Amino acid sequence: MCGILGAYSRSQSLSNDLLKAGLRQLEHRGPDSQNTWIGANGRIGLGHSRLSIIDLSTGHQPLTDSSESIHAVVNGELYGYKEIRADLEKLGHRFKTQSDSEIVIHLYKQYGTQCLHHLRGEFSFILWDQANETLFAARDRFGIKPLYYHSSPELLALGSEMKALFPLGIAADWDPEVAYQLHSAFLFLPSRTLFNKIYQVPPGHFLLATQGNVQIMKYWDYSFPTVDQLRTSSISEVEAIHDLRTLLNESVRLRLQADVPVACYLSGGLDSCAVLGVASQYVDQPIHAFTLSFDQEAYDEEKIAREMATHAGAHYTPISVTQNEVADAFEKAIWHSEIPLINNHGVAKFLLSKAVRSAGFKVVLTGEGSDEVFAGYPHFRKDLFLTYPVEQANAVQNLLQELSDSNEISKGLLLSGDSPVDIPSLRNTLGHVSSYLESNAGVGRRLSTLLNPDFARTYENRDPFRVLLNQLDCTQMVNRDSVNQSLYLWSKTMLPNYILSVLGDRMEMGNSIEGRVPFLDHKIVEFAAKLPIQYKIKGTTEKFILREAAKSVLTSTVYKRQKHPFLAPPVSAQPKGPMLNLMQDTFRSTEFKRLPFYDANRVISLLDSLPSLSSSEQNQADLSLTLMLSMYSLQKNFKPGTALFSS
């Protein structure tokens, strides 16, 4: 993995010093080497910060072809590249390195933008086609690797992280519309960011720019089957389990390929345990497995992970994370994330990655993405239960109560802890209200009580759910099963903009760790999308087909265990702990009052009320408080402009 940067000036020559300054902001993504290239006309420049994983000696970037008419910088891993390279060589292409990244240049020369359909893996890249004076940039299908851009009449700039764009003269100003979207319904938009005029290339899209035009175009989507197509699915359960096992084995095997050692992140959950179990079949030496350990029993999975590591014959290392360490690392983690957290799990993941890097590893396999592919979260089960016939109303209520009782720490976060909410824009467009968006509405209701009245008044008539739907291809959800609708919505919002960011790329690459995600191999995702819902959720069992496909490599404990979300203990778990002290100091500070979004007195009242709240209310308050502390850290780190509202 690496950090990439590109700049395309419409008129003036670029400054190599500024390009290097932007690249320095990405050094954590690639500490092994940093290089820049500026074209002969001075108006196109590329930068690359390298973390050496494959082809350690000759794979330096920016890359170019033999005629030096195409240049590129690539971030990520491209699997099956040796076979692609061999096919291209048969067509007359000549390679200069042994790097997987170089296939991007030659695939583009052969197929143009259609080259994206030949790529398998997690990636983002920026390519300059000199003959056609065209800049071509793309992001992988799921948003595993980030890619941001700013476009103005004078400059198009792209980078792996937003902070790399600021040295190029791009202002770090708040985008109040996005801030309201976040606080009113905890919704991330596919292409917007919290910073004004800085956008992201959405997952499964590419950017094409010429001298006077910038286009964003889609090249891939989930394409869930219609309800009628699901009814006529002919694949048997036995066939589906066999086919998934074959695909998962191949995906993990491909992601073990590297010129450096590969480790695993391991929790007590089905996903990471399945990855470790499968990976252990393809290595000659024990894999190193690393597990986060917390001092709160409800959040600690160390014993289950240890049992799984022993079962897989892995070399096991638990990493204990204390609240003191979380408090000390919080601001640094936010600098890396560039978005707010709702729980300290992101900081814990940052500390885990730091420990793994210190142990000498650059590459880890992770279990992210499985819940999005196989409907693992409890709100997907709620969506399914609510589709049962009205004559089963009593049974449905029992199922919902059982779901609530068995997911105590998810209430108010993944499951609504409030009374049902009707969201007309969702119901009118999709026919039902997705359970996770109902939960988000509850989060927004609580956050709205803490907002600066001027800020809230500016957007008081706005429907954040309509704003979201307006930016999605709703034809992908019409006439789809409610579970698949929710899977699509979650995979367009929370997966790329939170799960794969603060629990994936940003916390891993913040410590120069490359995370590889076998469940987000597009062949697995395309296969799973077409499966009948009952293969994903069977009765009350989530991820049924994955359990069966991986059963032979799992412990009995993991095979039988229900999904538990990865969360760090809430701040209220230590009433006089360092995180609560940090919040007390922050929310009472003059600097916090300069944030344009909050009513500081209401925030302090919430903070002071924590001891009197119930356990579930404390968990819900923890979400709000952590988000606001994150926003303060973003303000402190990047100093965005604050003159947003008229008095």
User: In which region does residue 431 sit, left (phi positive, over 0), alpha (psi from -120 to 50) or beta (all else)?
Assistant: left
Whether 306 has a pLDDT exceeding 70, the answer reads yes
| Residue 322 near residue 295, CB atoms below 8 Å | yes
Residue 557: how many other CB atoms lie within 10 Å: 14
The DSSP secondary structure of 549-590, one letter per residue, reads HHGGGS-HHHHHPPP----PPPGGGSTTSHHHHHHHHHHTSH
φ and ψ at 73, to 5 degrees? -125, 135
pLDDT digits (tens, 9 = 90+) for 91-111: 999 998 888 999 999 999 999
3-state DSSP helix/strand/coil percent for the chain, to nearest 5? 50, 15, 35
Determine the pLDDT at residue 10: 87
Contacts with 336 (C-beta within 8 Å, 6 or more apart), sequence order:
28, 350, 506, 507, 509, 510
* AA letter at 630: S
What is the C-alpha separation between 449 and 459, in angstroms, rounded? 14
Contacts with 139 (C-beta within 8 Å, 6 or more apart), sequence order:
123, 124, 145, 146, 147, 200, 201, 202, 203, 204, 205, 206
Determine the pLDDT at residue 513: 95
∠287-291-296 over CA atoms, to 5°? 160
* AA letter at 606: L
| Residue 248 near residue 518, CB atoms below 8 Å | yes
What is the C-alpha separation between 158 and 150, in angstroms, rounded? 7
What is the C-alpha separation between 138 and 147, in angstroms, rounded? 8
Determine the pLDDT at residue 643: 43
List the structure tokens of 412: 């108010």
Pairing state of beta strands 134-139 and 205-210? antiparallel
What SS3 state is found at 414?
coil
Distance of CA 590 to the CA centre of its chain: 33
What is the C-alpha separation between 349 and 404, in angstroms, rounded? 27
Pairing state of beta strands 121-129 and 541-542? unpaired
Residues 82-95 as b/e (b if ≥16 CB within 10 A, e otherwise) read eebbeebeeeebeb
pLDDT digits (tens, 9 = 90+) for 1-56: 689 999 999 889 999 999 999 999 999 999 888 999 999 999 999 999 987 776 66
- 211 CB burial (10 A radius; 0-12, 13-18, 19+): exposed
What SS3 state is found at 144?
coil
Within 13 Å of residue 369, how many CA atoms lie on the same side as its CB? 27
Pairing state of beta strands 155-159 and 199-200? unpaired
List the structure tokens of 180: 């309201």
For residues 639-646, average pLDDT: 59
Residue holding tokens 């999605």? 472
pLDDT digits (tens, 9 = 90+) for 394-441: 888 888 888 887 777 666 667 776 566 789 999 999 998 999 999 999
**Catalytic residue numbers, as ranges:** 2
Residue holding tokens 């800049």? 135
Element (H, E) at 73: strand 70-78
Determine the pLDDT at residue 645: 41
List the structure tokens of 574: 């230590």
User: What percentage of the chain exceeds 90 in pLDDT?
Assistant: 82
What is the C-alpha separation between 270 and 21, in angstroms, rounded? 43
Chain-wide mean pLDDT for the chain? 93
What SS3 state is found at 47?
strand
Whether 644 has a pLDDT exceeding 50, the answer reads no
List the structure tokens of 642: 């604050």
What is the C-alpha separation between 146 and 160, in angstroms, rounded? 5
∠638-42-125 over CA atoms, to 5°? 60
What is the C-alpha separation between 509 and 523, in angstroms, rounded? 25
E strands present in 313-446: 315-320, 363-365
What is the C-alpha separation between 316 and 393, in angstroms, rounded? 47
pLDDT digits (tens, 9 = 90+) for 467-525: 999 999 999 999 999 999 999 999 999 999 999 999 999 999 999 999 999 999 999 99
Element (H, E) at 157: strand 155-159
Determine the pLDDT at residue 178: 96
φ and ψ at 316, to 5 degrees? -105, 130
pLDDT digits (tens, 9 = 90+) for 617-632: 888 899 999 999 999 9
CA distances from 143 to 30, 48, 250 (A): 19, 19, 21
Whether 647 has a pLDDT exceeding 50, the answer reads no
Spatial strand order in the sheet of 70-78:
63-64, 70-78, 121-129, 134-139, 205-210, 213-218
Determine the pLDDT at residue 418: 58
φ and ψ at 397, to 5 degrees? -60, -40
pLDDT digits (tens, 9 = 90+) for 351-391: 999 999 999 999 999 999 999 999 999 999 999 998 998 78
Q: Most confidently modeled of 8-12, 334-338, 608-612? A: 334-338
How does residue 77 score in pLDDT terms, banded at 50, 70 and 90?
Answer: very high
Determine the pLDDT at residue 393: 81
Name the residue among 151, 155, 158, 118 with its Cα closest to residue 137: 158
Residue 501: how many other CB atoms lie within 10 Å: 22
Residue 400: how many other CB atoms lie within 10 Å: 16
Return the axis-axis angle of helices 323-337 and 615-638, rounded to nearest 10°: 50
* AA letter at 527: F
What is the C-alpha separation between 175 and 406, in angstroms, rounded? 39
Examine residue 578 and say whether the peptide bond preceding it is cis (omega within 30 degrees of 0).
no
User: What percentage of the chain exceeds 70 in pLDDT?
Assistant: 96
pTM for this model (two decimals): 0.95
Q: Which DSSP letter does residue 53 get?
A: -
